[in-house]
Amino acid sequence: MVNVTINNRQVEVEEGSTILEAARKLNIEIPTLCFLKGINEVGDCRMCVVEVEGMRGMTPACITKVRDGMVVHTATPKVLEARSVVLDLILSNHDRKCLTCTRNGNCELQRLAQEFNVDEIEFDGERVEKKIDDLSPSIVRDNNKCILCRRCVAACKNVQGIGAIDCAGRGFSSSISTYKDLSLNDVNCTFCGQCIEACPVGALKEKDSTKDVWKALRDEDKYVVVQTAPAVRVGLGEEFGMEIGTNVAGKMVTALRLLGFDKVFDTNTGADFTIVEEGTEFIERATNGGTLPMITSCSPGWVRYMELNYPELIPHLSTCKSPHQMFGAIVKSWYAEKMGIDPSKIYMVSVMPCIAKKFERTRDDMQGTGFDDVDAVITTRELARMIKQAHIEFTGLEDSGFDDPMGEATGAAAIFGTTGGVMEAALRTVAEKVTGKTFDKLDYEAVRGEQGIKRASINLDGKEVKVVVASGLKNAQTILEEIKAGKADYQFVEIMACPGGCVMGGGQPIRSSKDRATIDIRSKRAGALYTIDEASTLRKSHENPVLQAIYKDYLGEAGGHKAHELLHTSYVAREKYKLED
């Protein structure tokens, strides 16, 4: 422990703490912009400068480590002037169009402008107009809004190990760019969206699909069905100022009805299909000498990563579609038939914590019925925007339940939204299928928790099954390298592209740098999912009665011919860089 004096107040902090951390302990606020704890600790933006006695000039609080006896001043007139000039300079080079910006109201720069009482730009000057990249189905990059904090670069490179974006050029002409300045659509970007989550401003955002959804909702001819992924219900509330980790499933369903959707279904039912299909596929591979380890395929960001970087390992990927695609296919086949609706009239909307799913729905072999399984994917954030646009007072809504017949889902499906959840759900089913027994102990603690890579060994009636759970693409890479080197002693692998799983997906509410440093957002959101699971009467996917009925009446065997037609897909090797010839 070391003693530090900040603004004449003493505080004892752990050695290795930064001035920023020490100040927070005293409830002294220091503004930041480029800092993202554990991800981007570079001290570049200079928003957080402070004075330290005995040090020349000013030093960034975000990365300067405290020393015993250090005397810090965080708010001298000199410091305040420096910060306001830094902010002014950033703003002078920023496309200040808050009114038409997705981040209006949740923007770290906007908030600073407000806090600093900016009423004019003192050092205004040249701004180079940059072209907007909106060619990909998932992500839009608008460098006119970029403040060069490099948080996205660090998220992409350091967390995901991708390096699709980096800072190019120097000095005033620096900009965040890609290989040869290609569109993100044509480089090794996985569409995981972690860069969006990292961005403090509106320079990175999802490709908007709300307009398409509104259009469908206005179309009398369309039967508009919506499904919502597990992680959405534990994120959406944040957009309305609710506590992180609040389960707002009930209000969400009510809101969706108010928006005019004809049916409000739960992707969790799709997740139960995924478990049954994936479990069956795994047992089949394990007993018939198929390619092992088998790796889950429900995270499209991860699937794209694999296709871009390890095409030779594609046989390890489960052929199962992700839950919402499966569900879309079921709605447009079994449900349409049952209800006598022309599937061509059904407009399937998925509300997802994910931007990769926007890309996923456009993939080949995602048209199980001949029609697109899913017609539009909107993120948690986009749904919130639609609710606000309709002026629905979300926090005051009554709860209501998903529509029948597919309102029923298991606790196993709910935990799909967090790292380890798919594995745990699968194990619950696989264990019973393999042993023929029924288990009461359903919590597989070993695959829970925040670590990027979790390894566990499960004993199924004397049969040892070794599993690995990885989240975040850098961790995925570690596992793939093991498999490639023939060093994998495990049979089943769950991978999610986003660190922490879909609760931390690229379509989830964006939290500020301060929240990310001071709140364990992942475990709060994931915790809410585990609570749903615990409270569920049904906690094993194969026990879902709706599923059982659909298999019995319509699909036949799990993993059978019809199931394959509707619920499975295929993969392709992808070039990392698409250069025009």
Partner 1 sequence: MKSLEEIKKIREEKRAELDLRVNTASNSREKHILVCHGTGCTSSKSPKIIENLRRIIEEKNVENVRVVQTGCFGLCAKGPIVIIRPEDVFYSLVKPEDAEEIIEKHIIGGEIVERLLCKDVDNSVVKKLDDLSFYKKQKRIALKNCGVIDPENIDEYIAFDGYKALEKVLFEMSPDDVIKTITDSGLRGRGGAGFPTGKKWEFTKIAEGDQKYVVCNADEGDPGAFMDRSILEGDPHCVVEAMMIAGYTIGANKGYIYVRAEYPIAVHRFQIAIDQAREYGILGENIWGSGFSFDLEIRLGAGAFVCGEETALLESIEGRRGQPRLKPPFPANAGLFQKPTLINNVETYANITKIILNGADWYASIGTEGSKGTKVFALGGNVVNTGLVEVPMGTTLREIVFDIGGGIPNGRKFKAAQTGGPSGGCITEENIDTPIDYESLKAIGSMMGSGGLIVMDDSKCMVNLAKFYLGFTVDESCGKCTPCRVGTKRLLEILERITEGKGEEGDIEKLEKLSRNIKNASVCGLGQTAPNPVESTIKFFRHEYEEHIKEGKCRAGECKALMNLWIDPEKCKGCGLCKRNCPANCITGEVKQPHVIDTSKCIKCGTCITKCPFHAISNK
Task: List helix spans (H) across 316-435.
Answer: 323-330, 336-339, 356-360, 380-389, 411-414, 421-435
Q: For residue 248, give the 3-state DSSP assignment.
A: coil
Please pick, from the candidates 86, 409, 479, 480, the single residue that binds partner 1 as defined by CB under 8 A. Answer: 86
Residue among 201, 266, 268 nearest 414 (CA):
268
Strands 70-73 and 2-6: parallel
If one asks whether residue 35 binds ligand FES (CB under 6 A), the answer comes out as yes
Q: Which of 9, 78, 211, 215 binds partner 1 (CB under 8 A)?
A: 78
Is 368 a residue that touches partner 1 (CB under 8 A)?
no
CB 430, min distance to ligand FES, A: 47
Task: Tell me which of ligand SF4, partner 1, ligand FES, none is bound by residue 499, counting a contact when its beta carbon lies within the kind-specific cut-off of 5 to 8 angstroms.
Answer: none
- For ligand SF4, the binding residues in 70-129 under the rule CB under 6 A are 94, 96-98, 101, 103-104, 107, 109-110
CB 301 within 8 A of CB 197: no
Residue 4 touching partner 1 (CB under 8 A): no
Instruction: Tell me the torsion sign for CA atoms 526, 528, 533, 534.
Output: positive
Whole-number Å distance between alpha carbons of 196 and 102: 12
End-to-end CA distance of the chain: give it in Å, rounded: 60
Q: Nearest approach, Cβ of 153 to partner 1 (angstroms)?
A: 12
User: Which residues does residue 494 pair with via DSSP β-bridges, in sequence order?
Assistant: 469
Q: How far is the CB of 514 from ligand FES (least distance, A)?
A: 11
**Is residue 199 involved in binding ligand FES (CB under 6 A)?**
no
Kindly state whether residue 320 participates in binding ligand SF4, applying the rule CB under 6 A: no
Question: Judged by CB under 8 A, does residue 49 bind partner 1?
Answer: yes
The three-class DSSP label of residue 417 is helix
Stretch of residues binding ligand FES (CB under 6 A), selected from 45-53, 296-304, 336-344, 348-356? 45-53
Contact stretch for ligand FES (CB under 6 A) within 41-49, 109-117, 159-167, 515-523: 41-49
Residue 510 interacting with ligand SF4 (CB under 6 A): no
Q: Name which of 87 and 331 has its Cβ closer to ligand FES.
A: 87
| Buried-state track 357-377, b at ≥16 Cβ within 10 A, e below 16 | bbbbbebeebbbbebbbbbbb
Q: Which lies closer to ligand FES via its Cβ, residue 47 or residue 366?
A: 47
Query: Which of 20, 199, 329, 456 touches ligand SF4 (CB under 6 A)?
Result: 199
# residues near ligand SF4 by CB under 6 A: 56
Nearer to ligand SF4, 252 or 502 (CB): 502
Question: Is the peptide bond preceding residue 405 cis, with omega within 30 degrees of 0?
Answer: yes
Interface map 140-179 toward partner 1 (x if CB under 8 A) = --------x------------------x-xxxxxx-----
How far apart CA 88 and CA 402 sit, in angstroms, is 49
Q: At what angle do helices 421-435 and 267-287 cross, to 10 degrees?
A: 50
| E strand segments, 307-401 | 346-352, 376-379
Q: If DSSP codes are grouped into helix, strand and coil, which group holds residue 50?
A: strand
Closest separation in Å from C-beta 138 to ligand FES: 28
Could you say which of 4, 48, 456, 468 contacts ligand FES (CB under 6 A)? 48
Binding of ligand FES by 112 (CB under 6 A): no
CA distances from 194 to 31, 64, 237, 298, 511 (A): 23, 26, 20, 17, 12
Asked if 337 contacts 557 with a C-beta cutoff of 8 angstroms, the reply is no
Q: Residue 563 in contact with residue 556, Cβ under 8 Å?
A: yes
Token readout for 372 is 């697109």
59 is a site residue for ligand FES (CB under 6 A): no
DSSP 64: P
Instruction: Select 166 or 212, whichever has its Cβ closest to partner 1.
Output: 166
Residue whose CB is less far from partner 1, 18 or 350 = 18
Of 227, 208, 154, 183, the closest CA to residue 358 belongs to: 208
The interface mask with partner 1, positions 102-141, x = CB under 8 A, is --------------------xx-xx---------------
* Span 446-505, contacts to ligand SF4 by CB under 6 A: 496-498, 501-502, 505
Identify what 173 binds: ligand SF4, partner 1, ligand FES, none; CB under 5 to 8 Å per kind. Answer: partner 1
For the chain, what's the residue count? 581
Q: CA-CA distances (angstroms) from residue 35 to 27, 42, 267, 319?
A: 18, 7, 36, 40
**CB of 5: closest distance to ligand FES in angstroms?**
20
Binds 426: which of partner 1, ligand FES, ligand SF4, none (CB < 5-8 Å by kind): none
194 in Cβ contact with 499 (< 8 Å): yes
Among 6, 21, 22, 46, binds ligand FES (CB under 6 A): 46
Task: By CB under 6 A, tell whether 321 contacts ligand SF4.
Answer: no
Contacts of 79 (CB under 8 A, 6+ apart): 49, 50, 51, 58, 73
> Using CB distances below 5 to 8 A depending on partner kind, what does residue 126 bind out of partner 1, ligand FES, ligand SF4, none?
partner 1
Q: Does 76 bind partner 1 (CB under 8 A)?
A: no
Count of residues in contact with ligand FES, rule CB under 6 A: 12
Q: What gap in Å lies between CA 392 and CA 215, rounded to an integer?
A: 19
From the list 243, 237, 155, the residue with the least C-alpha distance to 500 is 155
Query: Which token pair is 90?
Result: 């950033």
Binding partner of residue 32 among ligand SF4, partner 1, ligand FES, none, CB under 5 to 8 Å per kind?
A: ligand FES
189 is a site residue for ligand SF4 (CB under 6 A): yes
Are 473 and 322 in contact by the 8 Å Cβ rule? The answer is no
Whichever of 30 and 275 has its CB closer to ligand FES, that residue is: 30
Binding site for ligand FES (CB under 6 A): 32-35, 43-48, 60, 62
Binding site for partner 1 (CB under 8 A): 42-47, 49, 57-58, 60, 63-64, 78, 81-82, 85-86, 89-90, 92-93, 122-123, 125-126, 148, 167, 169-174
Binding site for ligand SF4 (CB under 6 A): 94, 96-98, 101, 103-104, 107, 109-110, 139, 145-152, 155-156, 160, 162, 164-165, 176, 184, 189-195, 198-204, 299-302, 353-354, 356-357, 496-498, 501-502, 505-506
